[in-house]
């Protein structure tokens, strides 16, 4: 019996074969999108470090009594003024929290990118493994067609087969050859797709093609920690902090100025204390906008959780149906076809059974192996998507 569930390492003995997890880890180190996000996090950490720094002081150089049409006055003065805005209240604390929100959003964007990348690597890798297995089955199918063609050619001499049967077997062989060539092209392109996102040239992949049912409760257990969910939570918190910041801006700082002046007769100093007067209420408008943004983000968060849960359940249903379909084909239909094959082989005389029947049944057996493999392919397509939507809840 041709077995679908097997370790590809038994077939691929080439040096340099890598596992899917190795590809994932390598891609995390080499992918430029990930490197860019990591640099953004470094910048965000720097922003946090300086978030509570005071504003730079101001220095002013002064002179007065600059006459354009009169002689210089004896009251002419020169001086220098130093002013500093001194923060009061919680403005700087809130700005630091907002900077942390921005940093966390970048972190969750990085996690989301890694999750998306891992899902895509799984999709490409399993398609490669399945297509390679399919190619092997088609090779066996092709050999059987060649045997059938040779047999029909031989039987034609004894008038036990027609010319049309010979031609039909040739056409079937050519059709299959085209399918094999297209499949080989797909395999080559998948390797290139894999290299494109992993920045690693891969010659072969070693991984088991085992399939199993997935528990729906387990698959939905990590949704609340999905990077997209955490990003929206951080955005909501950020908008709430921005609303608080607008309140804090009303009385956020006191500006103290120290002025030193001198003239012909004396030196003296002036001290000025300035406080803001929030009479135009622009902070109120900005605070309302920030609160509205927070509420809108919370609605998006509820919608995202709802959709993630449903998408995850849909993929789980599809995946488990693929397992059921596979088991019916592999455990029920294929054994029956094997039983037919044994019966045909037991009656191997031309009078009781045509030798063509044996070859045709073998190819029908391979056809069901291919159908079983189709279910494996659908399984891993759903698995790859589910890996992302469930936040790896199925691993």
Neighbouring-strand partners of residue 81: 60, 259
**Which one is predicted more confidently, 159 or 212?**
212
**Which one is predicted more confidently, 152 or 205?**
205
Gap between the Cα atoms of 123 and 117, Å rounded? 10
Q: How far apart are the first and last CA of the chain?
A: 30
| pLDDT of 67 | 60
Give the torsion through C-alpha atoms of 95, 100, 104, 109, to 10 deg.
Answer: 50
Query: Tokens 């041709």 map to which residue?
Result: 2
**Which one is predicted more confidently, 213 or 251?**
213
- Contact predicate 163/156, CB 8 Å: yes
pLDDT at position 72 over 60: no
pLDDT at position 236 over 50: yes
Written as one string, the DSSP assignment of 155-207 is HHHTTSS-HHHHHHHHHHHHHHHHHHHHHHHHHHHHHHHHHHHHS---S-B--
| pLDDT of 1 | 41
Confidence bin at 394 (pLDDT 50/70/90): confident
**Which one is predicted more confidently, 351 or 127?**
127
| pLDDT of 156 | 75
pLDDT at position 155 over 90: no
Least confident among 132-136, 156-160, 262-266, 347-351: 347-351
Q: CA neighbours within 13 Å on the CB side: how many for 338?
A: 11
Neighbouring-strand partners of residue 269: 260
pLDDT at position 7 over 60: no
What integer best gives the mean pLDDT of the chain? 88
CA distances from 72 to 24, 68, 78, 268 (A): 79, 9, 13, 21
With vertex at residue 120, the alpha carbon angle to CA 118 and CA 122, rounded to the nearest 5 degrees, is 70
Gap between the Cα atoms of 137 and 131, Å rounded? 10
| pLDDT of 293 | 94
Written as one string, the DSSP assignment of 369-391 is HHHHHHHHHHHHHHHHHHHHHTT
pLDDT at position 12 over 80: no
Gap between the Cα atoms of 210 and 206, Å rounded? 13
- Contact predicate 125/166, CB 8 Å: no
Mean pLDDT, range 221-248, rounded to an integer: 95
Q: Determine the length of the chain.
A: 395
- As a 3-state breakdown, the chain gives helix, strand, coil percent values, each rounded to 5, of 70, 10, 20
**Which one is predicted more confidently, 296 or 168?**
296
Gap between the Cα atoms of 248 and 226, Å rounded? 33
| pLDDT of 9 | 42
**Tell me, which fold does domain 8-54+97-246+281-389 have in CATH?**
Outer membrane efflux proteins (OEP) (1.20.1600)
Written as one string, the DSSP assignment of 44-65 is HHHHHHHTTPPPPPEEEEEE--
pTM for this one? 0.84
| pLDDT of 28 | 94
pLDDT at position 21 over 60: yes
- The count of other CB atoms within 10 Å of the CB of residue 303 is 11
Mean pLDDT, range 15-30, rounded to an integer: 88
Task: Summarize pLDDT for 316-336 with one digit per residue, the tens.
Answer: 999 999 999 999 999 999 999
Gap between the Cα atoms of 152 and 355, Å rounded? 10
Neighbouring-strand partners of residue 252: none
| pLDDT of 15 | 53
Mean pLDDT, range 169-196, rounded to an integer: 94
pLDDT at position 108 over 50: yes
Task: Summarize pLDDT for 348-393 with one digit per residue, the tens.
Answer: 554 555 667 778 888 889 999 999 999 999 999 999 999 999 999 8
| pLDDT of 8 | 44
| pLDDT of 252 | 86
Confidence bin at 240 (pLDDT 50/70/90): very high
| pLDDT of 395 | 76
The encoded tokens of residue 183 equal 């499949």
pLDDT at position 313 over 50: yes
- What share of the chain has pLDDT > 70, as a percent? 90
| pLDDT of 361 | 82
């Amino acid at each position: 019996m041709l077995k679908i569930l097997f370790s590809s390492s038994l077939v691929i003995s080439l040096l340099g074969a890598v596992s899917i997890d190795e590809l994932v880890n390598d891609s995390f180190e080499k992918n430029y999108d990930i490197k860019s996000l990591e640099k953004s996090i470094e910048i965000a950490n720097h922003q946090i470090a300086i978030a509570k720094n005071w504003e730079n002081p101001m220095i002013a150089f002064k002179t007065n009594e600059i006459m354009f049409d009169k002689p210089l006055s004896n009251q002419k003065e020169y001086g220098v003024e130093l002013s500093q805005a001194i923060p009061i209240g919680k403005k700087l604390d809130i700005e630091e929290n907002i900077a942390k929100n921005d940093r966390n959003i970048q972190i969750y964007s990085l996690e989301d990118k890694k999750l998306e990348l891992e899902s895509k690597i799984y999709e490409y890798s399993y398609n490669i493994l399945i297509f390679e297995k399919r190619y092997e089955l088609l090779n066996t199918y092709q050999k059987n067609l060649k045997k059938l063609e040779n047999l029909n050619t031989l039987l034609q001499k004894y008038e036990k087969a027609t010319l049309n049967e010979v031609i039909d077997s040739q056409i079937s062989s050519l059709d299959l050859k085209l399918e094999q060539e297209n499949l080989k092209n797909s395999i080559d392109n998948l390797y290139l797709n894999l290299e494109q996102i992993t920045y690693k040239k891969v010659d072969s992949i070693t991984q088991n093609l085992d399939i199993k049912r997935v528990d729906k409760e387990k698959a939905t257990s990590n949704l609340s920690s999905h990077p997209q969910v955490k990003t929206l939570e951080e955005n909501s918190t950020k908008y709430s902090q921005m609303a608080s910041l607008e309140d804090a801006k009303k009385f956020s700082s006191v500006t103290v100025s120290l002025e030193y002046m001198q003239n012909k007769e004396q030196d003296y100093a002036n001290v000025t204390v300035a406080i803001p007067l929030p009479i135009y209420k622009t902070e109120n408008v900005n605070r309302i906008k920030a609160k509205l943004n927070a509420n809108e983000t919370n609605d998006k968060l509820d919608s995202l959780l709802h959709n993630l849960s449903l998408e995850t359940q849909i993929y789980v249903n599809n995946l488990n149906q693929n397992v059921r379909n596979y088991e019916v084909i592999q455990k029920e239909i294929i054994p029956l076809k094997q039983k037919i094959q044994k019966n045909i082989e037991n009656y191997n005389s031309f009078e009781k059974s045509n030798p063509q029947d044996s070859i045709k049944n073998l190819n029908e057996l391979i056809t069901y192996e291919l159908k079983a493999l189709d279910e494996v392919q659908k399984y891993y397509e759903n698995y790859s998507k589910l890996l992302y939507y469930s936040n790896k809840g199925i691993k």
